[in-house]
Amino acid sequence: MFRRLDQSLIVLLGLVSSLATAHTVITYPGWRGDNLVNNGTLENGEIPTGALGINYENGSYTFPFGMQWMYPCGGMPTSTNRTRWPVRGGAVSVQPGWFAGHKNAFFYINLGLGTEPLNYSLPMLPVFQIIGPSNEMYAGEFCLPQVPLPENVEVNVGDNATIQIIETAQHGAALYNCVDITFAEPEDVAEVTEENCHNSTDAGKEIDFSLVFATTSLESAAPALSIGMSVAMLPVIAAVMFGFLA
């Protein structure tokens, strides 16, 4: 189960102890905090009998199946170290392969409005699929330089919100991860660089994209996902699964 990844990446992220159980990392614009925890398993690797997924024992929480499975934000409370993010939309970068089982995955990027969002029901992009280099853990990341605001949502500089990123693994289970933001003018936002936001192309890290839904969603997905898209559209089966066929 333990697999060694790229040393430089380990150093970069300082996640040495969490590697074996990691899921997604939001490289840009950050995240609420490290929710890659999945301790709570027994020393022999088994799940304790009757484990609820989240257990509270001797004054601390443990997550024998992993923390990121918990709606809405992978078990992390709202943070106060908010990231300034552009008021008309901006970059999002994710490392999707921090656990086995993510060769194919669906991604949802949603917005929750306010300092303590009541819900995360505002999609910023139509769901899209990634195709990773392998079904084992992999180190690649992807970068969407211009994720728009949800349709019909207008925000002002200084407003708070939370970006929620969901990755459903190929077996359908959903990982949750969030970053708390404050909307700002683009010039007041941390610069997006090749370092904090890029599409990995190195062998073993390359991630391909694919649209999921039928023609109606192609247009709205186009601005953020069009460049270099390999439109191997996930066909009918996905549409049926999500109830998009009449």
Ligand X SMILES: *[C@@H]1O[C@H](CO)[C@@H](O)[C@H](O)[C@H]1NC(C)=O
Binding residues for ligand X, rule: CB under 6 A, are 30-31, 33-34, 37, 39, 57-58, 60, 62, 79-83, 113-115, 117-119, 121, 142-145, 158-160, 179, 182, 197-199, 209, 224-225, 227-229
Q: Residue 215 CB, nearest distance to ligand X (Å)?
A: 18
Task: Write the CA distances from 27 to 76, 176, 196, integer angstroms.
Answer: 16, 14, 6
The smaller minimum CB distance to ligand X, of residues 169 and 184, is found at 184
Q: Six-digit token pair at 194?
A: 């090749």
Q: Residue 144 CB, nearest distance to ligand X (Å)?
A: 6
Exposed/middle/buried for 217, CB within 10 Å: 0-12, 13-18, 19+? middle
Q: Which of 245, 223, 241 is nearest to 106 (CA)?
A: 241
Q: Which residues contact 227 (CB under 8 A, 6 or more apart)?
A: none
Q: Residue 190 CB, nearest distance to ligand X (Å)?
A: 10
d(CA 87, CA 183): 5
Question: Which H or E run includes 130?
Answer: strand 128-131
The smaller minimum CB distance to ligand X, of residues 169 and 179, is found at 179
129 phi and psi angles, rounded to 5 deg = -105, 145
Q: Residue 208 CB, nearest distance to ligand X (Å)?
A: 8
Q: Residue 49 CB, nearest distance to ligand X (Å)?
A: 13
Question: Which H or E run includes 239?
Answer: helix 236-241
The smaller minimum CB distance to ligand X, of residues 88 and 240, is found at 88
Cis amide leading into 150 (omega within 30): no
Q: Residue 101 CB, nearest distance to ligand X (Å)?
A: 21
The smaller minimum CB distance to ligand X, of residues 119 and 134, is found at 119
Contact 214, 239 (CB under 8 A): yes
Residue 42: alpha-carbon gap to chain centroid: 28
The smaller minimum CB distance to ligand X, of residues 134 and 230, is found at 230
Q: Which of 87, 139, 81 is nearest to 111 (CA)?
A: 87
The smaller minimum CB distance to ligand X, of residues 11 and 245, is found at 11
The smaller minimum CB distance to ligand X, of residues 35 and 137, is found at 35
Nearest residue to the partner ligand X, using Cβ: 30
Q: Residue 197 CB, nearest distance to ligand X (Å)?
A: 6
